[in-house]
Amino acid sequence: MPSIHPMATFLYPFFPIFSFFGFFLPLIPLTWHIQAWNTGSCFYMMWASMLALIQFVNSIVWSDNVLDVAPIWCDISTHIFQAGTFAIPLSSLCIIRRLYLIASSKTILNRIEKRRMIIFDVALCLVLPVGLMALEYIFQGRRYQIDEEIGCMPYLYRTLSEVLFAGLPEITAGLVSAVYGVLCLLALFRHFQELKAFFVATKASSFTSDRFIPIVALTVLQMMCTTPLAIYSLVSNIESGLLPWISWDNVHSDFNVIVVIPSSIWRSDLEWRSAVESTRWIISSFGIIIFLFYGTTREARRHYLKVIHSHNWKFFSSKDVSRFTFNGDKRIIDIPDNSLTESIASFDLPLQIIAVFPESEEDRDGKMV
């Protein structure tokens, strides 16, 4: 029986709870983002939720052992984990790219452009990560490895090609997101300057820069979490030594042999311990981060109150619910704080403002037509 490290005893109750919230919380705003066809945000929430679920299960099952008790779970979860590490930065790129396209557009996007954006998001957030996951089989020396306290993780044969293949997509996505973020801020600033007089005349306090800060800040925060970590991992793997590529048979010769690593080993190395702990806490935090940006706003509260009202729960009066809804059929200019996420989702350009908004196809049908 592996000995229990004192740090493991201290962290064990907290990390499973933390990762469970990372799994559950992003599913809450996911419901209305799916209805609005906000594909980039939806993929981010789904991938973040799945990664946190994997961390949650692993941290409980392998909290104090390295036994191979769930081989099917390990086979499936390690592949999802590989795809998810690619998908999170790519989903963030789709979010900031869509915001930039909307902010820089002079007209409301038509139906064809909307479908093109959805196809692009699906290709970048789903097809590409799954494809990259499949290609990583080239470097997969074992089915998986089991780290005590961490659970089953991918086992990759560390060659120069593998290190570059694993790190460059995340780094590239982060850098491209940074470029889109700068361009988006410039486009938004230009629009705000052009429409400043209109904002003052209509007292449209909701349409200030803080309306757009959550989306840009989410992308910047995600980029700060993943891109430096990917760069550090790339550099440290190269510096620690690479294995030569001999042949396919050599890499996969012991494919069914499961590597097990007790926590006393990986915790005894400061650099190894820091890499393992930072990686699992950052990955589990993605779901909590996006919930804080999407699930705690005034727009989110409007959805919560609508659910409460629809179930006839008497915690709030009908007057409380109406404060978070639009004024009849004519939607007045004071839109809830986070309606930008809804505007992005429905592909309406929020900066081209008129006093009365025409009803959109998405609002009539609840879905894209």
Q: Which CATH class is domain 6-297?
A: mainly alpha
pLDDT at 354: 27
CB 344 within 8 A of CB 38: yes
First to last CA, the chain: 59
The set of residues, in sequence order, having a beta carbon less than 8 Å from that of 261 and lying 6+ positions away, is: 66, 145, 146, 147, 148
β 151-153/145-147 pair status: antiparallel
What distance in Å separates the CA atoms of residue 298 and residue 326, rounded to the nearest whole number?
13
What distance in Å separates the CA atoms of residue 364 and residue 151, rounded to the nearest whole number?
47
What distance in Å separates the CA atoms of residue 21 and residue 23, rounded to the nearest whole number?
5
**What backbone torsions phi and psi does residue 316 show, to the nearest 5 degrees?**
-130, 150
pLDDT at 195: 64
Number of Cβ atoms within 10 Å of the Cβ of 181: 22
What distance in Å separates the CA atoms of residue 258 and residue 70, rounded to the nearest whole number?
12
CB 226 within 8 A of CB 170: yes
What distance in Å separates the CA atoms of residue 300 and residue 21, rounded to the nearest whole number?
17
Ordered per-residue pLDDT tens for the chain, 369 residues: 445 555 555 677 899 999 999 999 999 888 888 877 789 989 999 999 999 999 999 999 998 899 999 999 999 999 999 999 999 999 989 988 888 888 777 656 677 888 888 999 999 999 999 999 999 999 999 999 999 999 999 999 888 888 888 888 888 988 898 888 888 888 877 777 766 655 555 555 444 445 566 667 776 776 777 778 788 888 887 887 788 888 899 999 889 999 999 999 999 988 888 888 988 999 999 999 889 888 877 777 787 787 777 766 555 555 554 454 444 433 333 333 333 444 433 333 333 332 223 333 344 344 443
pLDDT at 331: 37
pLDDT at 345: 36
Burial of 105 (C-beta count, 10 Å sphere; 0-12/13-18/19+)? middle
Residue-range domain boundaries for the chain? 6-297
Q: At what angle do helices 39-61 and 270-294 cross, to 10 degrees?
A: 140
